[in-house]
A and B are shown apart, each in its own frame.
Chain A
Amino acid sequence: QVQLQQSGPGLVKPSQTLSLTCAISGDSVSSRSAAWNWIRQSPSRGLEWLGRTYYRSKWYNDYAVSVKSRVTIDPDTSKNLFSLQLNSVTPEDAAVYYCARTVTGTFIDSWGQGTLVTVSS
């Protein structure tokens, strides 16, 4: 049974960097059949996929166009986790952020508990 445990601050100041981590148990971030995603949810934007990292003999990343210039998703194999960094945040980035696992790249079978992120000075 895969479990994903999120951590990180719930309050970020405008123009600063949002940083969250997702610790994996029951699977490996280096799994060759899984991908590790960040998704956010807000009333205005609904569920929005931000990007993913995955390992297939080497590391790959895919990012949503809407955040591509500001986002980084990185694996940490030593700690079996992956992280999200979103730079230059604005109030529009306020949302519940989820980490999630996709299997075969198509469906999400495990989710983190969610982190409510507020953007305010």
Chain B
Amino acid sequence: DIQMTQSPSSLSASVGDRVTITCRASQSISRYLNWYQQKPGKAPKLLIYAASSLQSGVPSRFSGSGSGTDYTLTISSLQPEDFATYFCQQGTSTPLTFGGGTKVEIK
């Protein structure tokens, strides 16, 4: 199975801050890397697929980059509605596997 390691596990930030979350795969996943946002009591929501493609309806302050084993989710200017938990997921092979999550909290 491909292991996905996210960092940090949590962070505190202020509205307007630039936030970066990283995800490392245990082997190359050829940009089959997706990012999700989850709020309490809700299902995850797709933000970014294929490492850098923005899902329809997702604000452009969210962006993704990376290749090989290392990937990054960036929120260019954190908004109040962005306080949530973020997960990465590899889609190159089954079992689909997820990172442990990054909780973004208000500073």
Q: Is there an interface contact between A47 and B87, defined as CB atoms closer than 8 Å?
A: yes
Interface residues on B, range: 20 to 34
Q: Shortest distance in angstroms between A104's beta carbon and chain B's nearest beta carbon?
A: 8
A19 at the interface (CB under 8 A from B): no
Q: Taking chain A's interface residues, is the majority helix, strand, or loop, or is none over half, making it mixed?
A: strand
Q: Is there an interface contact between B44 and A108, defined as CB atoms closer than 8 Å?
A: yes
Q: How many A-B residue pairs have CB under 8 A?
A: 56
Q: Shortest distance in angstroms between A94's beta carbon and chain B's nearest beta carbon?
A: 17
Q: Taking chain B's interface residues, is the majority helix, strand, or loop, or is none over half, making it mixed?
A: loop
Name the residue on A nearest B55 (C-beta): A109
Per-position 1/0 for A87-103, Cβ under 8 A of B: 00000000000101010
Q: Shortest distance in angstroms between B13's beta carbon and chain A's nearest beta carbon?
A: 22
Cross-chain contact of B89 among A52, A107, A111, A113 (Cβ < 8 A): A107
Q: Which residues of A contact B98 (CB under 8 A)?
A: 46-49
Q: Which residues of B contact A75 (CB under 8 A)?
A: none
Measured CA separation A49–B34 after assembly (Å): 14
Q: Which residues of A contact B50 (CB under 8 A)?
A: 106-107
